[in-house]
Amino acid sequence: MNSSESSSVNANIDPANLPSHIAIIMDGNGRWAKKRILNRIEGHKKGSDAVRLIVRTCREIGISILTLYAFSTENWQRPKTEVTALMSLLKNFLKSEQKEMLDNNIRLNVIGQIEKLPEDVQQVLHKTMTLTKENNGLMLNLALSYGGRAEIVRMVREIATKTKKGEIDPDLITPELVSDFLYTKGMPDPDLLIRTSGEMRISNFLLWQIAYTEIFVTETLWPDFSKQEFLQILKHYQRRERRFGKV
Ligand code: FPP
């Protein structure tokens, strides 16, 4: 596809019907590397280029929130060398993107067990979140040491503690109250969830928040995911009728 064709894809997107919140399960870095007889870490490196591209595209078209599943609670069980490489990639990404985030009104946010990340990664994350906290363009929401079940357990514990202290009336526990005790407090639920590399699973991602989310699974491996395919998925999304359980 040449650049005029790709801008025509862009032009076919209705700016009035964009998803506010897009969530992505970025899968397939390992397979991308394996296909090329490379180390898995090379796949993650190429994967961080795709992150840069999709963040840029979301900002250009005016998406409000992009939530990326960058590291799950289960990913701690990968070989130590891979975990270390992922952490160092993340740190380098944040350092190299700080200027772009500031220049382009992007705000960084983290969901997940930030306290479990290595000290140096936590420091860069906190610094970037502080530097970008007044930005009100795209929110780049990184899910790090994130697991949907762990998030739900944390919410139940907090609500139970407050209930025990008499601060919450059990009869007044509503879906809205539950949402306020999740990492995504104050954010709209994702309108669109994209998963790359073909697996038909949710993998413990945003379990509560995706109740009515439109799901798209593509066979493309994350490092190969392009702006063109992303825009095509947005076009498909705009053709879907969202009924939220109604007729
Ligand atoms: C899944 O691929 C991907 C991950 C576990 C990590 C995602 C990380 C990145 C895209 C790069 C760094 C992130 C940022 C935000 C800069 P996989 O390894 O499970 O692939 P496989 O299923 O093919 O083995």
Residues annotated as part of the active site: 27, 75
Q: Indicate whether residue 47 lines ligand 1 (CB < 6 A).
A: yes
Question: Ligand 1 centroid vs 179 CA: distance in angstroms?
Answer: 27
Q: Indicate whether residue 143 lines ligand 1 (CB < 6 A).
A: no
Q: Looking at residue 8, what is its pLDDT?
A: 52
Separation between Cα atoms, residue 23 and residue 210, nearest integer Å: 9
Query: Nearest to residue 143, comparing CAs of 77, 96, 203?
Result: 203
Question: Ligand 1 centroid vs 176 CA: distance in angstroms?
Answer: 32
Of the residues 24, 25, 29, 100, which should be mutated to test ligand 1's pocket, given the most ligand atoms within 8 Å of the CB?
29
Residues 6+ apart with CB under 8 A from 75: 83, 86, 145
Bridge partners of 140, per DSSP, are 66, 108
Residues 6+ apart with CB under 8 A from 181: 154, 155, 158, 159
Q: Indicate whether residue 48 lines ligand 1 (CB < 6 A).
A: yes
DSSP 8-class letter at 26: -
Question: Ligand 1 centroid vs 100 CA: distance in angstroms?
Answer: 22
Q: Whose CA is nearest to atom 3 of ligand 1?
A: 27
CATH superfamily of 18-147+189-238: Decaprenyl diphosphate synthase-like (3.40.1180.10)
Query: Nearest to residue 145, comparing CAs of 201, 74, 209, 95?
Result: 74
pLDDT tens, the chain, 247 aa long: 444 444 555 668 999 999 999 999 999 999 999 999 999 999 999 999 999 999 999 999 999 999 999 999 999 999 999 999 999 999 999 999 999 999 999 999 999 999 999 999 999 999 999 999 999 999 999 999 999 999 999 999 999 999 999 999 999 999 999 999 999 999 999 999 999 999 999 999 999 999 999 999 999 999 999 999 999 999 999 998 777 888 7
Question: Ligand 1 centroid vs 48 CA: distance in angstroms?
Answer: 8
| Domain range summary for the chain, segments of one domain joined by + | 18-147+189-238
Of the residues 24, 25, 27, which should be mutated to test ligand 1's pocket, given the most ligand atoms within 8 Å of the CB?
27
Q: Greatest CA separation found in the chain?
A: 63
Q: Indicate whether residue 27 lines ligand 1 (CB < 6 A).
A: yes
Question: Ligand 1 centroid vs 182 CA: distance in angstroms?
Answer: 24
Q: Looking at residue 11, what is its pLDDT?
A: 61
